[in-house]
Amino acid sequence: MRTARIAWVLFLTVLKRRMAYRGDLILAGLDEVMRGLVALVMLQVYVSKTPNLHGWTQYELLFVLGFSMVPIGLFHTFCGNLYQLSNTYIIQGNLDRVLLRPYPTFLQICFDRIQVEDLSGVLLGLAVMVTAVANLPNFDMGAAHLALLVVLILSAFGVVVAVFMAFAATGFWFEDRVGMVPPVYNLMEFGRWPTGIYHPALKLLITCVIPFSFVAFYPAGFLVRGEDPWPALLTPLVALASLFVAGWLWRCGIRRYHSSGS
């Protein structure tokens, strides 16, 4: 509870600081929206060339895309500072300051820079899902189904955090200014499409090794169609297992850290 209270205070502090420059905040939020709109345009291009992609219709794929925008937007908002771990914290030695404070290192790094403007991506994702549902007459709007939607979104967010926490932690062993996070981020696009269109090796990669399919396609696909529930219902367990592994890797990296040496 103490950790949660401090996290809330840190969030409010960052929010007040960002609200002091509202014009910059609005422009940065529009940038996140533009990236989401580009993804929507690309989806329309793909659908125009292949109206029925492995049996999936335009609005089913639109729902999957909107679903993926929510956990990714939450990650950008609360954990986007992981991109800076290798360069700013490990190589430049700023992790020393973090380690001196009696607060979890991972949360400190995340709350050093909360990107409130990226919540616009979450709102866009919700709007896209609502638009898709309006064109999917068989979508279940019951309370239990909507509650499952919330659970799966939070679980997908946990998967995203775990993946990038783990790959950011590799910077403790392989000191590089760019790190592994940006290259891995590009793989997330594969998780938005039906896994049946991929080569078995790629399907294995994004399902079992880097589980990006659990960020979008598996949970969102089940919510849309109600078919093959097991991959979707495993999403919370995948999130917990991934967070456990990522947390262990992070702690090993912290123990290995020996400052910048400068």
pLDDT digits (tens, 9 = 90+) for 150-177: 999 999 999 999 999 999 998 888 877 7
Predicted pLDDT at 36:
83
Q: One-letter amino acid identity for 185?
A: Y
Q: Residue 187's pLDDT is what? A: 85
Q: How far apart are CA 55 and CA 234, in angstroms?
A: 23
Bigger pLDDT: 128 vs 185: 128
* 34 within some domain: yes
Q: How far is CA 61 from CA 79, 96, 229, 242, in A?
A: 27, 45, 17, 26
In this prediction, residue 26 has a pLDDT band, given cuts at 50, 70 and 90, of: confident
Question: Which has more confidence, 10 or 85?
Answer: 85
Q: Which helix (H) or strand (E) holds 240?
A: helix 235-256
Assigned domain for 262 exists? no
In a domain, 240, yes or no: yes
Task: State the total domains in the chain.
Answer: 1
Exposed, middle or buried by CB within 10 Å (0-12, 13-18, 19+), for 51? Answer: exposed
Q: Taking the model in full, what pTM does it have? A: 0.90
Question: For 179, left (φ over 0), alpha (ψ -120 to 50), or beta?
Answer: left
Q: Does some domain include residue 64?
A: yes
Please state, rounded to an integer, the average pLDDT across all residues of the chain. Answer: 87
Within-domain flag for 41: yes
Containing structural domain, residue 180: 2-256
Q: Is residue 261 part of a domain?
A: no
Residue 56 main-chain phi, psi, to 5 deg: -100, 135
